[in-house]
Chains A and B, each alone.
Chain A
Amino acid sequence: MVTDNPNTDPAFTAPASAAPPSRAPGTPDLLTLTDIRKAFPAVVANDDVSLSIKSAEIHALLGENGAGKSTLVKMIYGVLQPDSGDMLWEGEPVHLTGPSDARKHGIGMVFQHFSLFEALTVAENIELALPSPGEGGPSRADLPDLIREVSRKYGLPLEPERVVHDLSVGERQRIEIVRCLLQEPKLLIMDEPTSVLTPQEAEQLFETLRRLSAEGCAILYISHKLQEIRDLCEVATVLRGGKVVAHCDPRTESTQSLARMMIGAAPKPPDRDGAKSLGPVRFEIRDLSQPALSAFGVALKNIDLKLHGGEIVGVAGVAGNGQNELMAALIGEVRGDRADAILIDDRPFGRIGPRRRRVAGACFVPEERMGHATAPDMSLAENSLLSASRRMKLARSGWIDSAKRDGFTTEVIEQFNVKTRGTAAEARSLSGGNLQKFAVGREIAQKPSILIVNQPTWGVDAGSAAAIQQALLALAADGAAVLAISQDLDELFAISDRIAVMADGRLSEAVETAKLTVEEIGLMMGGHLEQAEAARA
Chain B
Amino acid sequence: MIRLQTRGEASRVMALTAPLIAVTLTVVTGAILFEALGKPAGPTLHAYFIQPLSTRFGLSELLVKATPLVLIGIGLSIGFRANVWNIGAEGQLTLGAITGGALALAFYEVDSPLLLPGMLIAGTLGGMAWAAIPAYLRIRFNANEILVSLMLTYVAGLFLSYLVSGPLRDPDGFNFPESRLFHDAATLPTLMQGLRAHWGAVIALFAVIAAWVFLSRTILGFQLKVLGDAPRAASFAGYREPRLVWFSLLLGGGLAGLAGVIEVSGAVGQLNPSISPGYGFTAIIVAFLGRLHPLGVLIGGLMMALTYIGGENAQIAIGLPVSVTGVFQGVLLFYVLACDLLIHYRIKIGRPVGVKA
Contacts and interface: CB of A to CB of B under 8 A. Distances in A.
Interface of A: 40-41, 81-86, 93-95, 331-333, 353-358, 364, 366, 368, 371-378, 382, 385-387, 389, 395, 398-400, 402, 426, 428-429
Interface string B213-243: 0000111101001100110110111101000
Given A377-B10, A385-B219, A389-B219, A332 B233 contact: no
A375 B352 contact: no
Of all A-B residue pairs in the complex, the 9 with the closest CB atoms, nearest first, are A354-B238, A375-B230, A355-B238, A386-B237, A375-B233, A95-B357, A372-B232, A395-B219, A83-B354
A97 B236 CA distance: 40
A330 to B, nearest CB: 12
A377 B219 contact: no
A378 B225 contact: yes
A399 B217 CA distance: 6
Interface residues of B, number: 24
Contact of B233 (A94, A373, A399): A373
B56 interface: no
16 contacts: A81-B355, A83-B354, A84-B355, A85-B356, A332-B238, A371-B230, A372-B230, A374-B233, A375-B233, A376-B229, A378-B226, A378-B230, A398-B219, A398-B220, A400-B217, A400-B222
Contacts of A375: 226, 229-230, 233
Contacts of B233: 371-375, 386
Nearest to A353: B238
Contacts of B236: 331, 333, 354, 364, 366, 372-373, 386-387
Interface of B: 8-10, 217-220, 222, 225-226, 229-230, 232-233, 235-238, 240, 352, 354-357
A419 B230 CA distance: 23
Nearest to A382: B222
Given A398-B219, A426-B9, 4 more contacts: A355-B237, A371-B232, A375-B233, A385-B222
A138 B236 CA distance: 42
Nearest to A364: B236
Contacts of A428: 9
Given A93-B357, A399-B217, A400-B222, A378 B238 contact: no
Nearest to A366: B236
B23 to A, nearest CB: 25
B153 to A, nearest CB: 30
Contacts, number: 87
A6 to B, nearest CB: 15
Contacts of A81: 352, 355
B219 A82 contact: no
A456 to B, nearest CB: 16
B259 to A, nearest CB: 26
A333 B10 CA distance: 30
A426 B352 CA distance: 29
B143 to A, nearest CB: 21
Contact of A354 (B9, B226, B230, B237): B237
Nearest to A83: B354
B240 A353 contact: yes
A36 B94 CA distance: 65
Nearest to A328: B235
A168 to B, nearest CB: 15
A331 B225 CA distance: 21
A429 B238 contact: no
A364 B219 CA distance: 20
Given A382-B222, A399-B219, A400-B218, A84 B230 contact: no
B80 to A, nearest CB: 15
A93 B240 CA distance: 57
Nearest to A370: B230
Contact of B237 (A94, A387, A402, A429): A387
Contacts of A398: 218-220
B214 to A, nearest CB: 10
A91 to B, nearest CB: 14
Contacts of B217: 399-400, 402
Contacts of A41: 8
A386 B238 CA distance: 8
Contacts of B352: 81
A84 B222 contact: no
B9 to A, nearest CB: 6
Contacts of B356: 84-86, 93
A357 B238 CA distance: 10
B356 to A, nearest CB: 6
Nearest to A356: B238
Contacts of A374: 230, 233
A371 B230 CA distance: 6
A40 B230 contact: no
Contacts of A402: 217
